[in-house]
Amino acid sequence: MAESGASPLPPTPSARSPLFRAEHFVWLTARVLEQRLFAHDFLHGAADPVETALDAYRNEDGGYGHALEPDLRGPVSQPLHTVRALRVLDSVGRLGGRRVERVCRYLTSVSTGDGALPAIHPSQRGYPAAPFIPIVDDPPSELLSTGPVVGLLHRNDVWHAWLFRATDFCWQAIDSLERSHPYEVQAAVAFLDSATDRPRAEAAADRLGRLVRAHRLAALDPDHLDAYPVAPGYAPGEHHFPYDFARTPHSLARAWFTDDEMARSLDHLVDDQQQDGGWPIRWRRWAPGTALEARPMVTIEALRTLRAYGRAIG
């Protein structure tokens, strides 16, 4: 029996709750990094262990490698690994200081002639990579990699010489979009949600949202997915839903969808939790380990999204 005046133990989540089931899945399958991220986000864990786990992926050039982004294998630093690393640091409030200075030096070293980032640097050649990620000798700048990096740095009030041209590239790339695909749109939203010029960001987001609806890039009715085309090069059934674009109610992309459309997509997200407690990946599986490593990442993101919209997760 507890002593009088002792603090009560925290309630145990229901074994049927999304969080309880996801926790079992994470401890069973996740890498150390995702285990510590889950503990930080949902179990009151500290930020230091997350940083320690992330350091295992950092290279001497200031970038990140070692399959931090599971679809790119091998030790070499890549922009898409850096996107993932900055998201981790942002989520635990550690995106700043000398660590970010080293990252910005790496970004400068791999930038293209217009000051932005390629999706894949040619140094990936010779190491395994997903077949849907092309490796070329002279890769162009991509909004896919540049948008999230610039957005995260602006979000954390980072100022570095690299940001000036990279920011200009993002504005020009978004302003020139006439057709796009879901992952590029997500990258654009990541930039616009943190861009310092808020009126311009709101206007660009409004135009982008009309493009998303006109080209049916978001599946607005999860019960009738055949009505929505899958983007060229995507896996069969690789649909994207309103919550994929508006991860929080504060995102500019939230205005693209009605309350009913967003509610239906969140209902679908709840129902998409698998029997093992994790959420599935929708993109193409090309190697046994990559899906196993990616599913805990997707699971953490699903729980964050549901919590952001006030859905009960346990």
Structure tokens at 64: 């990140």
DSSP 17: S
* Rounded-to-integer distance, Cα 131 and Cα 141, Å: 20
Residue 288's pLDDT is: 86
* pLDDT (tens digit per residue) in 32-89: 999 999 999 999 999 999 999 999 999 999 999 999 999 999 999 999 999 999 999 9
Q: Are 251 and 193 in contact (CB under 8 A)?
A: yes
Q: Are 249 and 309 in contact (CB under 8 A)?
A: yes
Residue 8's pLDDT is: 46
Q: Are 120 and 129 in contact (CB under 8 A)?
A: yes
Structure tokens at 123: 């140094």
| Torsion (CA) 277, 189, 56, 297 in degrees, nearest 10 | 10
* Rounded-to-integer distance, Cα 44 and Cα 47, Å: 9
Q: Which residues contact 176 (CB under 8 A, 6 or more apart)?
A: none
Q: Which residue has the tokens 């549901």?
A: 306
For each of the chain's 314 residues, which pLDDT tens digit applies?
Answer: 444 444 444 545 566 899 999 999 999 999 999 999 999 999 999 999 999 999 999 999 999 999 999 999 999 999 999 999 999 999 999 999 999 999 999 999 999 999 999 999 999 999 999 999 999 999 999 999 999 999 999 999 999 999 999 999 999 999 999 999 999 999 999 999 999 999 999 999 999 999 999 999 999 999 999 999 999 999 999 999 999 999 999 999 999 999 999 999 999 999 999 999 999 999 999 998 999 999 999 999 999 999 999 999 99
* Rounded-to-integer distance, Cα 114 and Cα 291, Å: 34
Q: How far is CA 50 from its chain centroid?
A: 17
Q: Are 230 and 183 in contact (CB under 8 A)?
A: no
Q: Terminus-to-terminus CA distance in the chain, angstroms?
A: 26
